Chains A and B, each alone.
Chain A
Amino acid sequence: DAGVTQSPTHLIKTRGQQVTLRCSPKSGHDTVSWYQQALGQGPQFIFQYYEEEERQRGNFPDRFSGHQFPNYSSELNVNALLLGDSALYLCASSFGYQNSNQPQHFGDGTRLSIL
């Protein structure tokens, strides 16, 4: 039973470029959330997808967008990259959008470095 998988593991980009990160949820999960974790901080919530729609969004600019596919996998897109976007990006999956008593299962993350 595969857990949450993210790709790529590491990525190096330059300012102004665009990046796409990918996530496959744990088998049986239908809700995907994305987080940004900067050094020394806890994960910051970016957005959550359920039934192919963005259901909840954190305090991130429109440069951050996403998508969920019919197989529940998800992408995070970041446009016009800034140095401050350098961080670990975590994907988490769970079952059921409103069922907040379920723990989230996390992937290993994608380490994004902006030069």
Chain B
Amino acid sequence: ILNVEQSPQSLHVQEGDSTNFTCSFPSSNFYALHWYRWETAKSPEALFVMTLNGDEKKKGRISATLNTKEGYSYLYIKGSQPEDSATYLCAFRDYGQNFVFGPGTRLSVLP
């Protein structure tokens, strides 16, 4: 059974703070790591698809890094805004086409 973990489970930050959270996944048989943002009452929205060890992706104030050898990815948000409040999900895909989501990190940005 593939296990994908995310930490912390939830996070409260003040507007303007920078924050980061972690996704841990199996280091063997890695194929890709996806990050999604899921706002309340909306559908999950793709942020990044990462495939190479050492990959860094950026989209506005959000960026992500990937370490496939040790099995983790970090998601960073610079200068958090209230509209960043959402659940951030990572999903691990292996060569067997298994696709496993973590439980998510719930971020609340207080104005």
User: Residues of A at under 8 Å CB distance from B?
Assistant: 3-4, 33, 35, 40-45, 48, 55-56, 59, 90, 92, 98, 100-109
Interface centre among A40, A103, A108 (most CB of B within 10 A): A103
Interface centre among A92, A100, A105, A107 (most CB of B within 10 A): A100
- Min distance, Cβ A104 to any Cβ of chain B, angstroms: 7
Are B49 and A4 within 8 A (Cβ)?
no
Q: Give every chain B residue within 8 A of A90 (Cβ-Cβ).
A: 43-44
Q: In the complex, what distance in Å separates the CA atom of A101 from the CA atom of B33? A: 9
- Min distance, Cβ A85 to any Cβ of chain B, angstroms: 19
Q: In the complex, what distance in Å separates the CA atom of A102 from the CA atom of B51? A: 11
Are B49 and A102 within 8 A (Cβ)?
yes
Q: In the complex, what distance in Å separates the CA atom of A40 from the CA atom of B34? A: 19
A-B contact sample (14 more), CB < 8 A, given A101-B49, A106-B36: A4-B43, A33-B99, A42-B101, A42-B104, A43-B44, A98-B97, A100-B31, A101-B32, A101-B51, A103-B34, A103-B36, A103-B49, A106-B44, A109-B43
Chain A's interface: helix, strand, loop or mixed, by majority? loop
Are A45 and B97 within 8 A (Cβ)?
no
Q: Give every chain B residue within 8 A of A48 (Cβ-Cβ).
A: 97, 99
> B30-54: which have CB < 8 Å to A?
31-32, 34, 36, 42-46, 49, 51
Q: Give every chain B residue within 8 A of A42 (Cβ-Cβ).
A: 4, 6, 89, 91, 101-104
